[in-house]
Amino acid sequence: GAVVSQHPSWVICKSGTSVKIECRSLDFQATTMFWYRQFPKQSLMLMATSNEGSKATYEQGVEKDKFLINHASLTLSTLTVTSAHPEDSSFYICSAYRQERLTGANVLTFGAGSRLTVL
Amino acid sequence: ILNVEQSPQSLHVQEGDSTNFTCSFPSSNFYALHWYRWETAKSPEALFVMTLNGDEKKKGRISATLNTKEGYSYLYIKGSQPEDSATYLCASYAGGTSYGKLTFGQGTILTVHP
């Protein structure tokens, strides 16, 4: 089945450093990827929509200079948390739509997520 | 703002029990409702996509219903097994395309005890 590979799965960094998270669609092309963030005991919150070859669309309240998104090809989107601070510690997960073979429905295929801890 | 609510937040059942939980969503401008299962240390996996009022979908022991007029969906698991233990997420979106932005509920954590 369709797979989205997300790396790293966890990362610990010092305050002030930047961290890059990669998402690759392994067996399908994704012109659009969605980046979500999850705080403990809360729902997945959409941060931004990444579009291949163009600028990402950010949700209200998400700083685009803090969370840089690049979607350079049909199979790769990256999220860079710049000058990370402890409040950026969270779980980040990417996803892309694919069409289910059996039902024809468009469903999200997710990466496994990246847990970021900023010291 | 689209709010999607799920209840209960967590649920503990014994193996063999049947169980159900609820997803409520704003019914205005509704387009689709998704259900996902998210096992620990894995990626969320799609269970169902539902669009029509009265829709009922089934996959093995799991089924779901949809009421778009009142804005709720039920997920049922018949004869729960320990491998059904997971977080079940529902997500909704409004709008006219099938590639829209999904708004997720906070999930129901199901634990099935052997």
In tens digits, what is the pLDDT along chain B, a chain of 114 residues? 458 999 999 999 999 999 999 999 988 888 899 999 999 989 999 999 999 999 999 999 999 999 999 999 999 999 999 999 999 999 998 765 556 789 999 999 999 999
- Using DSSP, state whether B83 is helix, strand or coil: helix
Quote the CA–CA distance of B22 and B53 in Å, as a whole number.
16
Phi and psi (nearest 5°) for A58? -100, 145
Residues in chain B, total? 114
What is the separation of C-alpha B85 from the centre of its chain, rounded to a whole number of angstroms?
Answer: 14
Distance CA B61, CA B73 (A): 17
pLDDT at A111: 96
- Look at residue A104 in the predicted model and tell me its pLDDT: 85
CA distance B18 to B15: 9
Residue contact B99–A106, C-beta within 8 A:
yes
DSSP letter, residue A26: S
Which of B43, B45, B104 to probe the A interface (max A CBs under 10 A)?
A: B43
Contact of B99 with chain A, judged by CB distance below 8 Å, is answered with: yes
Residues of B in contact with A34 (CB under 8 A): 101-102
Within 10 angstroms of residue A41's Cβ, the number of other Cβ atoms is: 9
Note whether A106 contacts B101, CB cutoff 8 Å. no
Q: How many CA atoms lie within 13 A of A29 on its CB side?
A: 5
B29/B63 Cα distance (integer angstroms): 24
What is the structure's pLDDT at A2?
65
- Nearest CB among B4, B49, B105 relative to A107 is that of B49
8 Å CB contact of B43 and A111: yes
Q: How far is B25 from chain A (nearest CA, A)?
A: 14
- DSSP per-residue codes, A42-83: S--EEEEEEETTS--EEPTT--TTTEEEEEEETTEEEEEE-S
| B window 8-67, beta carbon within 8 A of A | 34, 36, 41-46, 49
Give the gap in angstroms from C-alpha B78 to the nearest C-alpha of chain A: 22
Q: From B3, B9, B8, select the one nearest B24 (Cα to Cα).
A: B3
Q: To the nearest whole angstrom, how far is the Cα of B49 from the nearest Cα of chain A?
A: 7
Q: What is the DSSP letter of B68?
A: T
Dist CA B111 CA B50 (whole Å):
25
Which residues in chain B have Cβ-Cβ distances shorter than 8 Å to A49? 101
The token duo for B73 is 């969906």
CA closest to A60 among chain B residues = B1
Find out whether B106 and B88 touch, Cβ atoms under 8 Å.
no
For position B3, what pLDDT does the model report?
87
pLDDT of residue B1: 44
Averaged over A53-70, what is the pLDDT? Answer: 93
| Per-residue pLDDT at B38 | 96
* Residues A85-96 pLDDT 10s: 999 999 999 999
Residue A31 dihedral angles phi and psi, to the nearest 5°: -75, -20
Q: What is the CA radius of gyration of chain A?
A: 14
